[in-house]
Chains A and B, each alone.
Chain A
Amino acid sequence: MYPASFGYSAPATLDEVLSTLSKLGDEGRVLAGGQSLIPLMKLRQAAPAHLVDINGVGGLDQISDSNGHLEIGALVRHADVITSEPVSRSVSTMASAAPWVADPLVRNRGTVVGSVAHCDPKGDWASVMLALDAQVVAKSMAGERTIAMTDFIVDFFTNSLEPGEMATALKVPKDVPNSGGTYLKLERKIGDYATVGVAAFLALDSAGKIARAGLGLTSVASLNVKATEAEAMLTGNEPSDELFAEAAESAARASSPSSDVRGPADYKRELVRVYTRRALTGAWAKARGEV
């Protein structure tokens, strides 16, 4: 119920945050929304020596439009995504996923960047970012770098940030014309983690064939999975129920879910099949402007 003791600073600028993180090395953890970190600390499953609270740093809460991308700042809350006009207009997969995350109260505090950086395989956002080939912007005293999502997620609760480095934004590609995405999730109640979640994105060429496909899977392995074989299977082809069924089969093969109270592994694999089919159908409808 109560966390162990820790040191705390609340810098006013990003430079101060980075300098503090650099000094603390392994001992420092960023506190943004805190909706993943604080619960772990209360259960004493995490006990960082020092928290660096970034909530007072200006300029991190913006969703800005730049060059075919939306940049989602480190303090953009899940709730902000739901009400964001740029997101609903130009990143349909994110707009579809946002209401599925946690519950309304947690969404008022939790951040998209924080959630992705947490690398919880049951987290929804990482699957969306994998499907969209988003990138993480990481800053440190040494400078700035951009990390592809597939490189950013290293393992179960492990990202590729170095000590002293902080994820300051996500760069998410905007929907090109004739594209769209959907996120579907089986949760047993609001606030439950996904039994299975699927983010599906399709971009169509002028002939209506699939120019690009993105598929990200939640809760099917020890990390969020990018179903690259299924994506390849879809690319260049005419969308159809049969094609989607094949892609769904491939996505199921890319999953290695564990059996637990949410069901046996073969059930979860079946859900991957069903939801991939349904998510692709939904993405296709959006890409054709039908929704």
Chain B
Amino acid sequence: MTTTQNQPTTTPEVGGIGHSVLRHEDDRFIQGAGRYLDDHVLPGMLHMAILRSPVAHARIRSIDSSAASALPGVVAVVTGELLAGYNLAWMPTLSGDTQAVLATDKVRYQGQEVAAVIATDPYIARDALPLIDVDYEDLPAITNPMEGLAAGAPLIRDEKEGQTDNVAYTWEAGDKAATDAAFAKAAKVVELDTHYPRSHPSPLETCGCLADVNPATGEVTIYLTSQAPHAHRTLFAIVAGLPEQNIRIISPDLGGGFGNKVPIYPGYVVATAASLVIGKPVKWIESRTENLISTGFGRDFYMKGQLALDGEGRITAMRVEMTSDQGAFYADAQPTKFRAGLFHICTGSYDFPAAHIAAKGVFTNKAPGGVAYRCSFRVTEASYLIERLVQNAAYESGMDPAEFRMKNFIKPEQFPYHSPTGFVYDSGDYHTALQMAMEMADYKGWRAKQQASKGTKRIGIGIASFTEVVGAGNSREYDIAGLKMFDSAELRIHPTGKAILKLGTKSQGQGHETTFAQIVAEELGIPHSDITVREGDTDNTPYGLGTYASRSTPVAGAATAMVSRKIREKARTLAAHLLEASEGDLEWETGRFYVKGSPDKGVTIQEIAFAAYTNHPEGVEAGLEGVHYYDPPNMTYPFGSYIVVVEVDTETGVWEVLKVVAVDDCGVRINPMIVEGQIQGGLTEGFAKANMQWITFDEDGNCIGSNFLDYLVPTAWETPKFELGETVTPSPHHPIGAKGVGESATVGSPAAFVNAVVDALWSEGVKNIDMPVLPHRVWGALKGA
């Protein structure tokens, strides 16, 4: 049932669900006392710099590092040949492929790691790089998947046994026969051929590693910019052959992640190997250029989408042929069974019975990756496609785009909704959200203004009504590198009634130290400020798969609620003992048990906690703690409707955003202030992708977009203001009804911006402009229309 806000039931002092509690983590950040990777210093620490390939595709004839090794201050130079001796020149990827750690036979993308210098000082390490002499024999570069699939294309992965072409994977979903039948009968077919370009999460803090292999004890401590420290520890153990019990991964404060800090990068492996061999700590921090040119990017999907419509403006089927640019290695961090991530959610918020997706991933001479940047495992691409298709379908059907959506939305009574590609949407009310957005945006008023705008400045109104899927994921279908995607919470209540909560997730700014404390506060009535939350240190937290794809609240949040309830059950036993009553005679209200009928006769959770250590009953274990590993029964499906109004200057192609209205429904909101912050950040990323962000390549495979002069990220001056609204449709299967929201706005909003520009120019014959919708592309589209 949809409501427009969830009201807290606890006091502000307790700060349970629904309170906009100020963040616990802020105190250190506002004093400049955050401890990010590069802030860590260990005695005897050495510094590593990586030599990278200047070219996109070349054979390595020789590497001469003698001059570099001779530079005073240089301790070692590591090459692929050296690593090969330890079987570390190649490593497995999270998608079942292998990736070069340091290049041996060939370089396969500009920026690929070729050698590493370890020195006493980072300036000296940088000085040594040009002294390494690499002899390259240039090869032709493949700069897009179509080139990679063309006859006679050079084979990029010639080292891979059994690889005879540049195909990384093929995959399909849905029902081809039913879809083909629907298209055969269709009254109208709407098509869209669109490229969702390569983009990069570019968190403000780049990736890095401080590896400390203690030669005396064999302990391996690795400070790592990691969104998934436990999974990384296990993978390090397997890849490097180190005993897992001796490995401690500490993911400290992270300056943003957005999926960029999920993969294991060659730099991490080299730094660890170097520390192992040299016996001193080795620190590696990448520069921004290294981050943009070589680490996990997002998107780069070529999508040919079609919608089949009946004669009344109803969608009857969807067909998609998708080709993805995987870069030189297939290294997507995504659930193993889904080779194209969760792209098959592309049927979106709409009710129709048939869909088919055929997907193919292709190797190119570019950095590996694709799943990153707040994409919920490719839901960004899926959502973009359907929302652009639906917009164009409305125009081609002679209907208003809002009216078309309303007509085709899944209805509230249809939930749980079985989509034609196998998803079971838990809950939703799309009509109410879109209605609210239209009212907040004064949709009718803007349509009227649009009618009146006929000069060189044109108004456009874009809508995106997205449904996304998060909370990976149930163990039947979801695993990453074989690890099931449960998550965990370990809670201990101390004698003085304070608590410590440890999680298998890892915040990069999402406010976990606050919101997860609020879940415990809700369940146990312990004031939020009495609860400390810890993440990131694999020695001190329970095993979890980490934070990305908006999974923390759906999975670890559920685990937190469940462990709190376990503890509440034990607390009942202790309370019964203290009150000399039977457990069945006790009632719970926030923070205390009392005897039914005698509300004065009660004990607080703090008194119970004290008793757990000082007065526990016979036959019951002392202490008050528990751990829960949560295996979610289903994904959760946050949704929303966004409306964007733009004004396009048709003389220059520049477009200005006049209004952004965003109505989001992420189920129950634990901390409304934090939820809104996530949405504002996501809307900004959506705007950025629609307006300016772009990683592209020239015909030689040179990366254009490998620094902030070329890869444009918006400042406060370009970024629009946002008006936020909410509906609350709880998830029926989640213990606290929450769905997760971190990526909703990044998923849903790009289409709203692009739809707005297309809406402004449709009457001029413009049917599509791919992102980024740069001024010259608008101008070009108008000229060509």
Contact = CB atoms under 8 A, between A and B. Distances in A.
A1 B779 contact: no
A188 B688 CA distance: 11
Given A186-B652, A274-B652, A267 B717 contact: no
B186 interface: no
A145 interface: no
Contact of B126 (A1, A186, A188): A1
A267 B652 CA distance: 9
Given A2-B123, A2-B126, A189 B775 contact: no
Interface string A255-271: 00000011110011011
Interface in A239-289: 261-264, 267-268, 270-271, 274-275
B694 A270 contact: no
Interface stretch (A19-27, A73-81, A190-198, A222-230): A190-198
Contacts of A275: 652
A264 B776 contact: yes
A188 B718 CA distance: 9
A275 to B, nearest CB: 8
A263 B775 contact: yes
Contacts, number: 58
Interface in B676-727: 691-692, 694, 696, 704, 709-710, 712-715, 717-718
B123 A195 contact: no
Interface string A1-12: 110110000000
Nearest to B125: A2
Contacts of B126: 1-2
A71 to B, nearest CB: 32
B291 to A, nearest CB: 12
B779 A261 contact: no
B287 interface: yes
Given A2-B123, A188-B712, A189-B692, A263 B774 contact: yes
A191 B715 contact: yes
A190 B780 contact: no
Contacts of A261: 694, 696, 704, 710
B138 interface: no
Contact of B779 (A2, A190, A193, A270): A270
- Tell me whether chain B's interface is mostly helix, strand or loop, or mixed: loop
Given A2-B126, A186-B652, A262 B776 contact: yes
B654 interface: yes
A270 B775 CA distance: 12
Contacts of A274: 651-652
Interface in A176-202: 186, 188-193, 195
Contacts of B127: 2, 4-5
Contacts of A186: 652, 654, 775
Contacts of A189: 692, 712-715, 717-718
A40 B131 CA distance: 20
Interface centre among A189, A262, A263 (most CB of B within 10 A): A189
Interface residues of A, number: 24
Interface in B254-294: 287
B122 interface: yes
A195 B776 CA distance: 10
B452 to A, nearest CB: 23
B193 to A, nearest CB: 21
B182 to A, nearest CB: 41
Contacts of A85: none
Given A4-B127, A188-B712, A271 B652 contact: yes
B651 A103 contact: no
A1 B285 CA distance: 11
A275 B652 CA distance: 9
A267 B715 contact: no
Contacts of A44: 130
Contact of B715 (A103, A263, A268): A103
Interface in A87-142: 103
Interface residues of B, number: 28
Given A1-B287, A189-B714, A195 B775 contact: yes
A38 B215 CA distance: 41
A192 B776 contact: no
Contacts of B654: 186
A267 to B, nearest CB: 4
Contact of A190 (B287, B652, B653, B718): B718
A182 B361 CA distance: 51
For B123, B653, B718, B776, the residue with the greatest tally of chain A CB atoms inside 10 Å of its CB is B776
A2 B122 contact: yes
Contacts of B776: 195, 262-264, 267-268
A195 B653 CA distance: 12
A192 B712 contact: yes
B780 A267 contact: yes
Q: Which of A103, A193, A261, A274: most chain B CB closer than 10 A? A: A261
Contacts of B718: 189-190
B47 to A, nearest CB: 11
Nearest to A271: B652
Most chain B CB inside 10 Å of its own CB: which residue of A4, A5, A263: A263
Interface string B91-129: 000000000000000000000000000000011001100
A44 B287 CA distance: 14
Given A2-B126, A274-B652, A188 B692 contact: yes
A188 B775 contact: yes
Counting chain A CB atoms within 10 Å of each CB, which of B130, B704, B710, B779 scores highest?
A: B779
Contacts of B653: 267
A188 B779 contact: no
A193 B651 CA distance: 20
Contacts of B715: 103, 189-191
Best-surrounded residue of A264, A274, A275 (most CB of chain B within 10 A): A274
B131 to A, nearest CB: 12
A193 B653 CA distance: 17
A2 B126 CA distance: 7
Contacts of B774: 188, 262-263
A271 B651 CA distance: 8
Nearest to A44: B130
A2 B691 CA distance: 32
Contacts of B712: 188-189, 192
A118 B696 CA distance: 28
A6 to B, nearest CB: 12
Nearest to A273: B651
A267 B717 CA distance: 25
Contacts of B713: 189
Contacts of A188: 691-692, 712, 774-775
A103 B709 CA distance: 13
Interface string B712-754: 1111011000000000000000000000000000000000000
A276 to B, nearest CB: 12
A96 to B, nearest CB: 17
A281 to B, nearest CB: 13
A263 B694 CA distance: 13
Contacts of A103: 715
Contacts of A268: 776
Nearest to B129: A44
A103 B253 CA distance: 29
Nearest to B285: A1
B699 to A, nearest CB: 13
B144 to A, nearest CB: 16
Nearest to B718: A189
22 contacts: A1-B126, A44-B130, A186-B654, A186-B775, A188-B774, A189-B692, A189-B714, A189-B717, A189-B718, A190-B715, A191-B715, A192-B709, A192-B712, A261-B710, A263-B779, A263-B780, A264-B780, A267-B780, A268-B776, A270-B779, A271-B652, A274-B652
Closest 9 CB pairs between A and B?
A263-B776, A267-B776, A2-B123, A2-B126, A1-B287, A274-B651, A190-B715, A190-B717, A189-B718
Given A263-B774, A264-B780, 8 more contacts: A1-B122, A103-B715, A188-B712, A189-B715, A189-B717, A191-B715, A192-B712, A262-B776
